[in-house]
Amino acid sequence: MRGGYKAKPESKMIKSEAEIYQILEELLRAAGNTPQTCVDLHDDPRVRALAPSPNRVSDYLGHMWRRGLVQRWYASKETAQRSRYAYTWIDQPEEKPEPVSRLTVPQRKAAPEKPNVTVVEDDGSITLDFKEFTITVKRK
């Protein structure tokens, strides 16, 4: 086998409850570090019952690879198969939630104060008097 590479993990899980994913996981875990092609996996009767062809198994494996569950390797050219890739299962460390030492509730910010404005209307002008500045508007 030549070097393998990993996909960027998106979510490390498959949201589908389809039985094929559990069977493929079981077969890849049982194979250990021996890469398995879609043809190798399609030889299993359980996989053959759920996937009509090795191409469909390859689609499932590609999906698992994009989720970061399996590692993809270039398949050996010495085999009679026409598979491009072979796959091995990546053991995922169990992610345990970290306990929170104490719950912190964000404090509500006080509502901003409305500006106090004094409005004075004279002949031909309006004066707006704020706390820190004054605006005078004059008619032309």
Q: Provide the pLDDT for residue 30.
A: 93
Do 49 and 57 form a contact (C-beta atoms < 8 A)? Answer: no
Amino acid at 119: V
Do 35 and 87 form a contact (C-beta atoms < 8 A)? Answer: yes
pLDDT bucket at 132, cuts 50 / 70 / 90: confident
Note down the domain range covering 82.
Answer: 4-89
At 8-62, the pLDDT tens digits run 444 456 777 788 999 999 999 999 888 999 999 999 999 999 998 999 999 999 9
Tell me if 136 is assigned to some domain. no
Q: What are phi and psi of 121, to 5 degrees?
A: -105, 120
Query: Domains in the chain: how many in total?
Result: 1
- Say if residue 65's pLDDT is above 70: yes
Over the chain, what is the mean pLDDT?
81
Q: Provide the pLDDT for residue 108.
A: 74
Tell me if 102 is assigned to some domain. no
Tell me if 113 is assigned to some domain. no
CATH number at residue 47: 1.10.10
Question: Which residues, 6 or more positions from 126, have their beta carbon under 8 angstroms from its beta carbon?
Answer: 119, 120, 136, 137
- Say if residue 115's pLDDT is above 70: no
Q: Provide the pLDDT for residue 9.
A: 45
Give the residue among 2, 1, 31, 25 at the shortest CA–CA distance from 12.
Answer: 25
Q: Provide the pLDDT for residue 13.
A: 65
Q: Provide the pLDDT for residue 4.
A: 54
Q: Provide the pLDDT for residue 26.
A: 92
Q: What are phi and psi of 94, to 5 degrees?
A: -70, 120
At 69-105, the pLDDT tens digits run 899 998 887 766 778 899 999 887 666 777 766 767 7
